[in-house]
Amino acid sequence: AYLSEIESCDPEIGAYLAVTADTARARAAAVDAARLRGEELPPLAGVPVALKDNICTRFAPTTCASRMLEGFTPPYDAHVVERLEAGRMVPLGKCNMDEFAMGSTTESSFFQITRNPADPSRVPGGSSGGSAAAVAACEAPCALGSDTGGSIRQPAAFCGVVGMKPTYGAVSRYGLVAFASSLDQIGPLTRTVRDSALLLDVIAGHDPRDATSLAREWGSFGSQLGREAGGLRAALPAEFFGEGIAPEVSDAVKAAAARYERLGVRVGEVSLPTLRHALPAYYVLSSAEASSNLSRFDGVRCGFRAEGCRDIGELYRESRSQGFGAEVKRRILLGSFVLSAGYYDAYYKKALEVRTLVQQDFARVFERFDFLLAPVAPTTACRLGEKRNSPLEMYMGDVCTVPVNIAGLPALSMPCGTGAQGLPIGMQLIGRPFSEQLLYRAAYAYE
């Protein structure tokens, strides 16, 4: 059913870079056969799932939507892919994204644009725009994305679905093509809160191949899901409701807060004064890490190689010049700059200090509150092409999401209304580290 939905919708939406129909049919048939034999199967056995194209798969190319990796099929599966397979889930294909997950509209993909199913003249958000659009258009019941600075939560908000960015270390990054390793985290995009909890159950857990993976017993998010939110304490952070946030967005989130009060949640207001430094710190740190991570794409080991080069220097230069798009080059330049000898203290080191301050600011607030309620993005989805040529404006759109990554916190994005043009508005529930269970409970109560 999902494959035929893809066939009819995806020519317009453009959510998928590759549809793995044969693999999907074979896996689904194997699950059916096992069921007929009376085998006991995991909870999501037979449920189809779509994957962002920066998650390594042996059964399909993994391109990161870049010319640099066009046609590249990894020799191994990511940890999350092994988990999906152990859970007997059915992979539908690989989803479009911003090139190497850098962007907020999915327009920096080398291959195609993706349209927002809520309004096809608009972007689906990014960088996991393909995953969010696939779920919103019913071209998949659920999908995986990655979130370095908002790339699960923001497209979820723009497309009207649920996106979960887990605590840093909850899900192994093994086999996720690295953007900024200290911030990257894989998570689910789904139509409901319960689906999100069930999918996180499949992918969360310790993996010795990722040194930052947490050795922790998570229990089950899906099977312990309660709807009781009474007695929880929520806070609206003033900094997320100030200048630059569209009134329809802040109104919708405040209306959600009022509804939480009716559900018995005590709602207060807080101020996190260091948050205004989080955005510049994020762009310094994430670009620094990206410039280092992307140095492996040299035209020699894998991926794109320029033709007709006379020596190795020219081969590196030409392969990288032709293989990477403009946004990726911008990040590499910025990252190399802030890491260079004369500027390291002034930029990179200072950004690390800001990171500590942001973490402390959140920790202080979580002494008194269970979760924060905030907008995901300052506006609803923009029109295709509207922000393509103004990178700074695009970066400003990440102001609500990046503090969460800087502090390594879990945050869940879910719909909380529609704007004047009928476009989805999202809110995020931000929790202290390891509070996924609580966030799911609060979100489920609202839903």
Interaction site with ligand GLN (CB under 6 A): 101-104, 127, 147-151, 179, 286, 398
Q: Which amino acid is at 109?
A: S
**Residue 52 among the catalytic residues:** yes
* β-strand partners of 122: 383
- Closest approach, Cβ 300 to ligand GLN, in A, equals 26
Q: Which is nearer to ligand GLN, 107 or 147 (CB)?
A: 147
Q: 91 or 163: whose CB is closer to ligand GLN?
A: 163
Nearer to ligand GLN among residue 20 and residue 108 (C-beta): 108
Q: Per the residue annotation, which of 66, 104, 108, 151 is the catalytic one?
A: 151
Tokens of 320: 């990288």
Tell whether omega for the bond before 8 is within 30 degrees of 0, i.e. cis: no
Q: How far is the CB of 64 from ligand GLN (least distance, A)?
A: 11
Q: State which residue has the least CB distance to ligand GLN.
A: 151
Does 127 participate in catalysis according to the annotation?
yes
Bridge partners, 104 (sequence order): none
Smallest separation, CB 82 to ligand GLN (Å): 22
CB of 226 to ligand GLN, least distance (A): 30
Closest CA to 355 of 168, 88, 115, 156: 168
The nearer residue to ligand GLN, 106 or 274, going by C-beta atoms, is: 106
CB of 47 to ligand GLN, least distance (A): 25
What is the spatial distance between Cα 126 and Cα 112, in angstroms, rounded to a whole number?
13
User: In the complex, what is the shortest distance from the CB of residue 129 to ligand GLN, in angstroms, rounded to a whole number?
Assistant: 11
CB-CB contact of 351 with 277 (8 Å)? no
Q: With the CA atoms of 21, 26, 31 and 34 taken in that order, what torsion angle do they form, in degrees rounded to the nearest 10?
A: 170
DSSP annotation string for 185-237: -EEEEESSHHHHHHHHHHH-S--TTSTT--------TTTT-----TT-EEEEE
Are 66 and 100 a contacting pair, CB within 8 Å?
Answer: yes
Q: Which two tokens stand for residue 393?
A: 């404006």
Q: Which is nearer to ligand GLN, 28 or 80 (CB)?
A: 80
Q: How far is the CB of 282 from ligand GLN (least distance, A)?
A: 7
**Helix (DSSP H) and strand (DSSP E) numbers for the chain:** 14, 11
Nearer to ligand GLN, 141 or 335 (CB): 335
Residue pair 87/202 in contact (Cβ under 8 Å)? The answer is yes
287 conformational bin, left if phi > 0, alpha if psi -120 to 50, beta if neither: alpha
> H or E element: which one contains 315?
helix 312-323
- Residue with structure tokens 């931000």? 430
**Least Å from the CB of residue 154 to ligand GLN:** 7
Query: Nearer to ligand GLN by C-beta: 87 or 187?
Result: 187
Contact 76, 207 (CB under 8 A): no
Closer by beta carbon to ligand GLN, 102 or else 427 = 102
Instruction: Please provide the DSSP assignment of 276-298 as one string.
Output: GGHHHHHHHHHHHHHHHHGGG-S
Active site residue: 66, 109, 127, 172, which one? 127
Cβ neighbours for 426, distance < 8 A, ≥ 6 positions apart = 153, 154, 156, 157, 158, 160, 375, 376, 377, 413, 414, 415, 416
Q: Please say if 319 is a catalytic residue.
A: no
Three-state secondary-structure class, residue 447: coil
User: Tokens representing 230?
Assistant: 């009474």
Q: Which residues are catalytic?
A: 52, 127, 151
